[in-house]
With several copies, the nearest count.
Chain A
Amino acid sequence: MTAVDFAPTDDQELFRATARSFLEREAPLATVRSWIDRPDGFDAGWWRQAAEIGFTSFLVSEEAGGGSLSGRGLDDLLIVAEEMGRLVSPGPLVPANVVAGAVSTSATRQQRERLLPGILSGDHVPGWCSGVEVEVVVDGDDHHFVLRGGASLVEAGAQAQEVLVTATGSAGLTQFLVPVDAPGVTVTPLVGIDLVRRFARLDFGDVRVDRSSVLGQVGRAGPALQHQRLVALVLQCSETTGAMSRVLEFTLDYLGDRYAAGRPLSSYQVLKHYLADMKLWLEASRGVTALAARAVHDQTDEAEELVRAAAAYVGEHGTELVQKAVQLHGGIGITWEHDLHLYLRRVSLNRNLGGTPAEHLERLAELSLQQLETS
């Protein structure tokens, strides 16, 4: 265990300010609400602007056209996620960055040149299948493959031109980059509790692809998929902490403004203690998320444990914080007009996506017990 300094660098502070003012200016909540009825849930021009600021480039190496602020791209990207959480921003943050990172790390030059410029500029939205629900068989020679199965939950699946899908076969796990207009691919848009983040089901009905679609090595995608999943979970945690932080801010304001029996609501001890607990949940969520991001970046042997711990804790306490804020707001908190439900939708999505708290705890138990065996 080495001592790690969490203090943000000056570059990171500056970037946070830039990201925040961009989002506040270009995608305030009124704008986000106006995007609810769009099929994509966001504005393509806005996403290109976001990409220009760097929302898609931190996990991409400099030679591939990306680059980080601090030398720790995932730390930088957490800032984006947290700021987007503060304003429940839409947009394909998770799939764009997960795929960009994967392509930057493992792609051939041709693949990189085909995909990265579009993702980095925001013109191209990639999809990412988090599960392993597709089977692959080698078709005759070993240069062609047939994919068969259904990816049940693909973020931006209906917005993407190309998706990264992991398939299981006799050789092991292999990742493929598949155009969604390939013959045999069916895209079914889904509905979600979040009103602007979009998901789809992708069915692969004997989709034929060749070796140029393989990302990385055939049969060896296990560690890559694991890393992608951990990155996705950490980003969700960070987005949730951003939402928690903003909700706590406006709840504090509201309780200072409201009077009961001639006293501000914020002077009632019970409500003060609720807020103290919420502050604790927020800071603990931030702390464990930051630790987890470090461990994922450094690929330490505690990385999965820290990510699962963060996902379980932040998932549970993110929703609990926002529900407590609803309680503190009273009736107004369950109206359509008030923004609280937008936050509740987002943290509730993040809590369940890619594993529920109970599933994370089960996995933590497994890892703890495994350690006993080996120690």
Chain B
Amino acid sequence: MSPPEEQRESVEQFARRSGEWLAANMPRLTSEPVHERRDDIWDRQRELQRMLWDGGFAGICVPRDYGGLGLPVEYQRAFTAESLPYELPFYLGTPTFSIILATLLDFGTHEQKLAHVPGILRGDTIWVQFLSEPSGGSDLAACLTRADRREDTWVLNGAKIWSSAAEACDFALCLARTNWDVPKHRGLSVFILDLRAPGVTIEPITQVNGNHTFCQEFFDDVVLPLDALLGEVDQGWTVTTALLTHEREGVGGSSPYVSGRNLLAPGSTVRTNPAAVLARSLGIADDPVARQLVGEQRMSDLVQRGLVERVSVGVRTGSLPPSAAALLKLYTAGASVRRTEIAATLAGEGGVVWSPGDVETQERADKYLIRQADSISGGTSEIQRNIISERVLGLPRELAADRDVPYREVRQSSRARTD
């Protein structure tokens, strides 16, 4: 459905046209990206996405049938390169575009894609995935939320946790168990869930820094239509595996559906060295020991950029399997730890006691308290190393005591056991 190659404008022409349009239409970024705590952040995202849509630059790699431009990934990259000086709907990047949109395109029926993709591209709907559960930890397949077939509907019961900003979202992809008599991975299904459906309760979780980045959800006899099922029944693990790969691409900065700089992998697109800014503001830019950290920060960002390219091309050309996106996720998580640690080290004593009203120092300290967040959310670094060793390097799988056992017989975390 894409235009035949000879009729397309070239990447260079597209880039030039994008640059001109961006300059004429999108707000310029002043210094740092839009502040996370702004109250109207989500309305702003919808508005910005709508501007892209109206300008004809939404869904560059999305098929034309579903409202996109149907162009190859080089066009998306060219657009992003041009867009760096401008404010874009950064917070829609992951999960809505990189994860959800990609998964819908992979598994949705023609009707499901027609129903949902254009709304995403227009900025009408914001999405989230419901995977983790209070009892499950890193093992997403240890899913206790259930969807039971009742006449011509599915009835959803259970609880999910660690979903990003679910309060602000319209729809979710939700993993639920549809069969308890087969082993863990074989009885799962994924559903498209309207978050305004009766029986859905969403509660924010207060983080150490006072933010409510994550939510917890409860489902109490939520009735879903049959066409809410994404992919095949009981084949939800296949959908989830693809979704997680898209998540690693999103976090690592290699998704073909995201426009604009990647807030989650800042090193790959941003040129300013945040450690240099901090060292200068602390007056220690001449301290050789501090400068080692400043240099390390820049190294880390540039290596990330190289890794993104390497993995993207490797997956595209087949020299790396799709699960190699776990390399990006693992790198990004480690880089985030170092970024936070470098800032805390530079700040020193002044970073643990400060004058009232010194918001910058306060935020740095808060950030230090959630230093591990990027190594946990979206799959811990330990899970990424399992994936790399097993699926990229082909080493033996971890022993699973629940393999080939009907799921109702598997031992669960003590807090979650019902006996």
Contact = CB atoms under 8 A, between A and B. Distances in A.
Interface of A: 1-7, 153, 188-194, 199, 201, 252, 255-273, 275-277, 279-280, 283-284, 286-292, 305-306, 308-310, 312-313, 323, 326-327, 330-331, 333-337, 341, 344-345, 348-349, 351-356, 358-369, 371-372, 375
Given A284-B304, A309-B299, A372-B272, 6 more contacts: A153-B353, A193-B352, A261-B402, A273-B385, A288-B306, A356-B349
Contacts of A362: 288-289, 291-292, 295
Given A309-B299, A323-B372, A334-B208, A283 B310 contact: yes
A94 B220 CA distance: 53
B61 to A, nearest CB: 13
A272 to B, nearest CB: 4
B138 interface: yes
B327 A280 contact: yes
A371 B161 contact: no
A235 to B, nearest CB: 16
B367 to A, nearest CB: 11
A239 B50 CA distance: 49
B273 interface: yes
Interface stretch (B93-101, B122-130, B221-229, B410-418): B410-418
B205 A261 contact: no
Listed residue (A269, A335, A365) with the most chain B CB atoms within 10 angstroms of its CB: A365
Interface of B: 11, 15, 74, 77-78, 81, 84, 132, 136-139, 142, 161-162, 184, 205-208, 210, 214, 271-273, 275-277, 279-280, 285, 288-289, 291-292, 294-299, 302-311, 313-314, 316-317, 320, 324, 327, 330-331, 344-345, 348-349, 351-356, 358, 362, 365, 368-373, 375-377, 380-382, 384-386, 388-390, 392-393, 395-396, 398-403, 405, 410-415
Contacts of A261: 139, 142, 184, 398-403
A336 to B, nearest CB: 4
Top 6 nearest A-B pairs by Cβ distance? A361-B295, A287-B310, A287-B306, A262-B401, A288-B306, A262-B402
Listed residue (B295, B314, B380) with the most chain A CB atoms within 10 angstroms of its CB: B295
A25 B358 CA distance: 36
Contacts of A358: 289, 292, 345, 348
B388 A192 contact: no
B289 to A, nearest CB: 6
Chain A contact residues, majority secondary structure:
helix
Contacts of A268: 382, 398
B137 A364 contact: no
Given A193-B353, A261-B142, A368-B294, A283 B214 contact: no
Contacts of B305: 287-288, 291
B274 to A, nearest CB: 9
A341 B280 CA distance: 29
Contact of B310 (A262, A265, A286): A286
A362 B413 CA distance: 47
Contacts of B380: 327, 330
14 contacts: A191-B358, A257-B413, A260-B136, A260-B137, A266-B395, A284-B307, A308-B299, A330-B376, A331-B132, A331-B162, A362-B289, A364-B299, A368-B295, A375-B272
Given A153-B349, A262-B410, A349-B352, A4 B309 contact: yes
A263 B355 contact: no
Contact of A312 (B74, B206, B285, B295): B295
Nearest to B366: A193
Contacts of B331: 280, 284
A313 B304 CA distance: 11
A3 B307 contact: no
Listed residue (A336, A358, A372) with the most chain B CB atoms within 10 angstroms of its CB: A358
Contacts of B402: 261-262
Given A265-B137, A335-B207, A193 B365 contact: yes
Nearest to B271: A371
A276 B401 CA distance: 23
Nearest to B298: A364
Given A193-B365, A272-B386, A363-B295, A267 B132 contact: no
Contacts of B413: 257-259
A327 B295 contact: no
A269 B77 CA distance: 37
A153 B353 CA distance: 8
Listed residue (A5, A193, A375) with the most chain B CB atoms within 10 angstroms of its CB: A193
Contacts of A5: 74, 313
A3 B375 contact: no
A349 B286 CA distance: 25
B354 A348 contact: no
A255 B394 CA distance: 12
A260 B303 contact: no
Contacts of A264: 396
Contact of B280 (A194, A270, A291, A372): A372
A126 B385 CA distance: 45
A198 to B, nearest CB: 10
B311 A283 contact: yes
A361 B299 contact: yes
A190 B138 contact: no
A280 B308 CA distance: 12
Given A6-B309, A345-B369, A365-B294, A252 B355 contact: no
A334 B372 contact: yes
B89 to A, nearest CB: 20
Contacts of B288: 362
Given A261-B139, A365-B292, A289 B306 contact: yes
Nearest to B317: A7
A192 B307 CA distance: 32
B385 to A, nearest CB: 4
A330 B137 contact: yes
A345 B292 CA distance: 26
